[in-house]
Homo-oligomer: A and B are copies of this chain.
């Protein structure tokens, strides 16, 4: 049965003259035993909420996943699809892409990410189990990983987190083939992986990855260990079956060539043509695929037998529908924010919004990469998740931004939870690969990033984001919110929760900001991405200010100074460029207006504003890293002040001879 996987992989790579045959051929035995004897799944319902999750973190081995999905009878993938491996328009991409074929649980390829997602799946499972019990949520998460995954830093973060949390239902298989692209792993790594995992509180077994009895026994043992995650380190031969290139780097990602493929046919006594599987083997694999149906029906019966409110709540959570009470929670928060004149940091406003939201939405699961008191992300009602104790809704992720982001992606994909997690905006760089994957998968992960500019003050340039806002706005499908006060913060949270098209990131100030939105009117202005916050007193405004976040009030002050001088100006608040770009052209044109001069203001670099500035490039912001000092002094030092904005407007007026 394992040879079915091997030859689908070898023939598909040979046919495409591109791809990675080595991993599927090396891990075929492990996959066969896992799916045949253990995996809880039913190809008839790929999204069954209590299915076991299966992730290949070494995503270049996607043909292993494609072939298993095809062989066990998932309808989304035919042998013709596999024949079109790596072609434009086919669903069998060069790396597995989330749900391009139902059964692909997450997008992998950038190494180590899948391990992080798997830890997220395993956390989600335990958290939901704590709420809904064994009857409704009780599954394993299995993850395959290669030498590369284990060299990546992210693997340390999530292995350490998983061991700490005692994720007993997480079982990881290390494809210990000792080969990477450059050659033998001895070129670059000497880690004792078994000892390393043991040091992080994992149960560890070392086996021959081609000994099916040993694999079966190891999985049995791993399932029996409930107080620790399990590593099964499998000694394998990369490209198992190739006569000359197996066990070498040539088997990793080279097209094997006809000789190797036919040699493998001889060695493994495989007489079928490419993409043809002998009938008895098809039957055996289809049998594996149909094994889970009865289990799924029992689960459905248990769901039906659950108390009605439990069933309704479970289904609501799994479908990702917001609860009835969430609107009231937002309304209360907005009400609270609009009733004050007291300056407030938007991180604090966000914390107050979350106080309401976490009461209304049990699916919210918060956390921080060791900046809980700074990010304002833990609310009064949230209980902490602790090792082996999953009845809470707040996670101390430790100083692990990357691991947090990847785990949150896993939780978001798992279903039943809406994860949000905090760090400083400057450290978005530390988790950027996972933010990107969230965007690519359209996962509804929420990144809460405080200390969003030089306004954080004394910690200085290493902690002050400068280029991060523009760099994050550059990521397709990532909605970057930067609210200017409490009302906008609440509106942005509303927009985040209503958004179904991808992840969101909310950038929040450390420093207190004066409220700018006393006039709270019905409708979510921030959700349109940008809106006019101050109109000109004339039908022919001369200057339009664009700003976001902590600089909006500076632009509004500049407006007032110029108003007194008789210069009519408008002020646009732009909390989210992506949502603004998605508005109808008519709205966009109305907001941007037709004043000859536009001045943008942000305590960051100009790149993400340039499209609105035209040739002039009137921008008040930064071209340089920040400095350590009191927030006000730092703003002064870099010339981001009301006076500088007024000067820039006057400069524009003189250049335009207006």
> Which A residues form the contact surface with B (CB < 8 A)?
16, 18-19, 59, 86-90, 93-95, 97, 107-111, 147-149, 151-157, 160-161, 163-164, 180-183, 185, 187-193, 195-196, 198-201, 368, 370-374, 384, 387, 396-400, 402-403, 426-427, 429-430, 432-433, 436-437, 439-440, 457-463, 466-467, 470-471, 473-477, 605-608, 610-611, 613-615, 617, 623-625, 627-630, 633-634, 636-637
CB <8 Å contact, A462 and B95: yes
Additional A-B contact list (11), CB under 8 Å, known A97-B462, A192-B200, A615-B615: A88-B628, A88-B629, A93-B460, A148-B370, A151-B398, A151-B400, A164-B190, A182-B368, A191-B200, A476-B605, A606-B611
CB <8 Å contact, A89 and B432: no
A155-B153, A161-B188, A460-B93 known; A633 vs B430 contact (CB < 8 Å)? no
CB <8 Å contact, A109 and B462: yes
Q: Closest chain B residue to A474 by CB distance?
A: B467
CB <8 Å contact, B630 and A476: no
**CA A19 to CA B459, docked complex, whole Å:** 8
CB proximity of A141 to chain B, nearest CB, Å: 20
**CA A335 to CA B406, docked complex, whole Å:** 47
In order of increasing CB-CB distance, the 6 nearest A-B pairs are: A153-B153, A88-B629, A188-B398, A156-B156, A109-B462, A610-B610
**CA A87 to CA B625, docked complex, whole Å:** 16
CB <8 Å contact, B628 and A93: yes
A93-B460, A433-B429 known; A152 vs B400 contact (CB < 8 Å)? yes
**CA A156 to CA B636, docked complex, whole Å:** 40
The one of B437, B471, B625 that contacts A474, using a Cβ cutoff of 8 Å: B471
CB <8 Å contact, B461 and A181: no
The one of B440, B458, B460, B476 that contacts A623, using a Cβ cutoff of 8 Å: B476
**CA A306 to CA B473, docked complex, whole Å:** 56
Q: Closest chain B residue to A434 by CB distance?
A: B429
CB proximity of A421 to chain B, nearest CB, Å: 13
**CA A95 to CA B462, docked complex, whole Å:** 7
CB proximity of A91 to chain B, nearest CB, Å: 10
CB <8 Å contact, A459 and B611: no
CB proximity of A202 to chain B, nearest CB, Å: 11
Q: Which residues of B contact A437 (CB under 8 A)?
A: 462
Task: Count chain B CB atoms within 10 A of each CB in A94, A111, A161 and give the residue with the most.
Answer: A94
Q: Which residues of B contact A107 (CB under 8 A)?
A: 462
CB <8 Å contact, B458 and A153: no
Q: Which residues of B contact A87 (CB under 8 A)?
A: 628-630, 633
Can you list 29 A-B pairs, Cβ within 8 angstroms, ordered by A? A18-B457, A19-B458, A86-B628, A88-B628, A88-B636, A90-B628, A93-B461, A94-B628, A95-B459, A95-B460, A95-B461, A97-B460, A107-B462, A109-B460, A109-B462, A109-B463, A110-B426, A110-B430, A151-B399, A152-B399, A152-B430, A164-B190, A182-B372, A187-B396, A187-B398, A188-B397, A607-B610, A611-B617, A615-B615
Q: Which residues of B contact A461 (CB under 8 A)?
A: 93, 95, 97, 440
CB <8 Å contact, B188 and A153: no
CB proximity of A392 to chain B, nearest CB, Å: 12
A432-B429, A466-B476, A634-B88 known; A370 vs B155 contact (CB < 8 Å)? no
CB proximity of A564 to chain B, nearest CB, Å: 30
**CA A440 to CA B636, docked complex, whole Å:** 21
A152-B153, A629-B87 known; A467 vs B458 contact (CB < 8 Å)? no
CB <8 Å contact, B152 and A155: no
**CA A437 to CA B466, docked complex, whole Å:** 13
CB <8 Å contact, A399 and B157: no
A110-B427, A181-B374, A610-B607 known; A86 vs B188 contact (CB < 8 Å)? no
Q: Which residues of B contact A610 (CB under 8 A)?
A: 607, 610-611
The one of B163, B190, B400, B477 that contacts A190, using a Cβ cutoff of 8 Å: B163
A88-B629, A152-B400, A462-B59 known; A195 vs B187 contact (CB < 8 Å)? no
CB <8 Å contact, B161 and A370: no
**CA A512 to CA B344, docked complex, whole Å:** 55
Q: Which residues of B contact A192 (CB under 8 A)?
A: 199-200
Q: Which residues of B contact A633 (CB under 8 A)?
A: 87-88
CB <8 Å contact, A467 and B475: yes
CB proximity of A649 to chain B, nearest CB, Å: 19
**CA A372 to CA B397, docked complex, whole Å:** 34
**CA A86 to CA B460, docked complex, whole Å:** 8
CB <8 Å contact, B88 and A637: yes
CB <8 Å contact, B161 and A157: no
**CA A240 to CA B370, docked complex, whole Å:** 22
Q: Which residues of B contact A474 (CB under 8 A)?
A: 467, 470-471, 474, 605, 607
CB <8 Å contact, A95 and B476: no
CB proximity of A615 to chain B, nearest CB, Å: 4
Q: Which residues of B contact A157 (CB under 8 A)?
A: 151-153, 156
**CA A199 to CA B198, docked complex, whole Å:** 10
Task: Count chain B CB atoms within 10 A of each CB in A86, A190, A457, A636 and give the residue with the most.
Answer: A190
A156-B153, A440-B462, A625-B476 known; A195 vs B199 contact (CB < 8 Å)? yes
**CA A372 to CA B94, docked complex, whole Å:** 21
**CA A149 to CA B157, docked complex, whole Å:** 11
**CA A149 to CA B95, docked complex, whole Å:** 32
